[in-house]
Structures are given as structure tokens and as C-alpha cells.
Structure 1
């Protein structure tokens, strides 16, 4: 068992998979036949992803206490991750003495025009986010690459003066 220092480091740094990791053999998994020619291995099994999603849900509950959460789901990529994460938070909330009311709102980010990246970020569905004022906001995004898009989104959300902003991605 790791000591507290190791656990806080894991929480902060996440799980690191080295570039030389060969993955798991396909013989260990069931997968749709139409993927047969496209897969070489499984890097992260679905169960591990779901376990990590539950751990993240527990961390969110610890960080936000009993306060309402407004989940701001970034479409399209963040949808399934958002659904899984919200389901885990709901399940944990139902099985504890704490209840965390949640409201889910969807936005879509566009920084491409005809397959070309542009400097401008257009946020669809974020025209009036005044309901975020004084709320705890959880932004759920599937992939945070360079962070440029997320920085722009955070600046936009901060303008509505939420109580707290957390990002899960």
C-alpha cells in the first residue's frame, strides 16, 4: 500500500503509460468483429477506464462537498465521458449520506473552418451562461490537447463569475 505522499502524487499526475507499453493481447477481450483487422492490442481496458471514472467522481464529490454542480459538457467528444462521470457521481451520491444536485448543460466548441484550425473559438450554446453565476462548474471535455481551447473556454466561463470551476478531461 502506498503512503499518502504517493497517493497525492498519483491523483495530481494521473496514470502514466510509457511509449514502450505493448498493450494487452486481443485474446483477452471480446470486441466487435468489424474491428478485427484494425486492432493490434488493447492499451487501456474499458473496466480500468470505468474504475478511473469512479475514482474521479469520488474526487469531485470530495472537492465540491454538498454544493450544487453545473456540469458543462463539451460536445461532441465529451458526451459519453460526461454521461459516465455524472452516472458515477449520482450513484455515489445515492449510496452516501451526501446528495449533490446536478444540472447538465451542453456546449460545442468550434475552432476549425473547412478542416483548417483558426485562431477564433466559437462557443455554441454559451451565448448566455449567466446561470453559472455563483455556481460550482464542472467542465467535462474528452480531450485537452495543447490547452489553448480550454484556456479560451475558461476565460469565457470565468466572465460569468462562478463560485468554482473544475475541469475533467
Structure 2
């Protein structure tokens, strides 16, 4: 496997002023800054695709498992780049796709409970090489529980690629096989990452401000 490499975003990184980018009008007052521009996401995703093809090329077919909902855009873009490399290089592998939907957040806090609320029959993973594609690894607890679930189906090999990995004191120390960006302990949205189902329609990864958190918060039950 390629040496683990990723783009580390420093704790003091301020990002970019919203006025430099096209941001939907309905979100302009709810965001602090653009943290990772869409173009940079795409460039990094292409690099990850190259690393994956170099590592997986000539192996048996791969099942790419998308973790919904937050992973769908990264998953689609990553597979598009992999497909292009499969067509245009001498290293290639067959891919099929599966989906699983998890829920672990409410507002900006992890609930501590992992709910599997949708997905295909994971029997399809039995005996296969599996590549799990995730949007963000926060504490790592969700991914470890998902890996335990997947292992119940006895896959041949499992690798994990995540667009983002968060530096947080609450981390259990889990690191995926492929990382796009390592980011500070901020609540980020956009590029399909959400806050209570909002902000998925942003092209860029942004930091949501306190006004945005309050505006789209789910009221706590008594």
C-alpha cells in the first residue's frame, strides 16, 4: 500500500472569506469561512484515486461501500476518477457498489449511538475486497462499529478511505487507510456534510457559525 499521506490543515488556518466564492444566498449568514474550496477537494480526490488504483490494480474485484448520506458526493467523485484511471492506465480493477446509511449526530454533538437506518444487503460483501468510503472520521467510534458490522460478513479484505479526519481529543486513535485532509476540531459542513440535514448543497467545505447552528438546531426534547 502507498505510504499514508494527507493534507494537514493547521489549527490556526482561517480559511477564505465567503465573498471570494459562490455560496448559496440562503447560507451566507450561517457560515464563518470557506475552509476547503471545491477545487482543492477535487484535486485531492484525484490524488487519492491514483493512490488507490496503484494499490488495488490487478487485484480481484472491489466492492466500494458508500457511507450515506454525507459520503455520497465524495464517493461519486472518487469513483469517477478511479473509473477514468481504469480506462487510461495499465492498472485496473473491477468495481461494484453498495450503500449503507448510518446516523450518529444530532445538532453538532455525537449521540454515542450508531444507527444503521438504511442500506443494501451486506451479504454482498462476503468473501470480497471491500473499500469503505466515508466523508469524515471524527472520534473514530462510528467507523470501528461499522468495521465490526462488516466483519460479520467475512470480507476478504477491508480498506477505508475518508475525505476528512478530525483532530479531536475525543479520538479513539483510529486512522483510515486513505485520508484526504486532516482538519482541526471544528464543525464543518458542505460537499454533502450536513448539520441536521442542511448545508449538503454547498460545493465547498465550510465552518458553520453559531447563528447557523442555532438556526438549524433540532429542539431538545424534555
TM-score (norm 2): 0.62
- Is it true that 1:163 corresponds to 2:163 in the alignment? no
Q: Unmatched 5+ residue regions in structure 2?
A: 163-222
Q: CA deviation at 1:26?
A: 3.9
Change in CA separation of 1:77 and 1:116 when aligned onto 2, cut-off 3 Å:
closer
- Is it true that 1:45 corresponds to 2:42 in the alignment? no
Q: CA deviation at 1:156?
A: 1.3
- Give the SS at the match of 2:154: coil
User: Cα deviations across residues 73-115 of structure 1 (Å, max 9, x unaligned)?
Assistant: 11111111111111111111111123322111111113469x9
- Is it true that 1:117 corresponds to 2:111 in the alignment? yes
Please, which moves more after superposition, 60-69 or 46-55? 60-69
- Give the SS at the match of 1:142: strand
TM-score (norm 1): 0.79
Q: Which has the higher contact order (CA 8 A, sep 6+)?
A: 2
Query: Partners of 1:73 and 1:93 in 2: how far apart?
Result: 19
Whose radius of gyration is greater, 1 or 2?
Answer: 1
Q: CA deviation at 1:40?
A: 4.3
Alignment-derived partner of residue 4 in structure 1: none
Please, which moves more after superposition, 132-141 or 47-56? 132-141
The structure in which a higher percent of residues are helix is 1
Q: 1:97 aligns with which of 84, 90, 97?
A: 90
Q: Is the 8 A contact 1:72 1:139 kept in 2?
A: yes
Q: CA deviation at 1:160?
A: 1.5
Q: 2:24 aligns with which of 9, 29, 32?
A: 32
Q: CA RMSD in A?
A: 2.6
Q: Unmatched 5+ residue regions in structure 1?
A: 1-6
The structure in which a higher percent of residues are strand is 2
Q: 4+ runs of 1 displaced by more than 6 Å? A: none
Query: Partners of 2:16 and 2:104 in 1: how far apart?
Result: 35
- Is it true that 1:16 corresponds to 2:8 in the alignment? yes
- Give the SS at the match of 2:7: coil
Alignment-derived partner of residue 59 in structure 1: 51
Query: Partners of 2:23 and 2:119 in 1: how far apart?
Result: 36
Q: Is the 8 A contact 1:74 1:108 kept in 2?
A: yes
Q: Is the 8 A contact 1:93 1:99 kept in 2?
A: yes
Alignment-derived partner of residue 87 in structure 1: 80
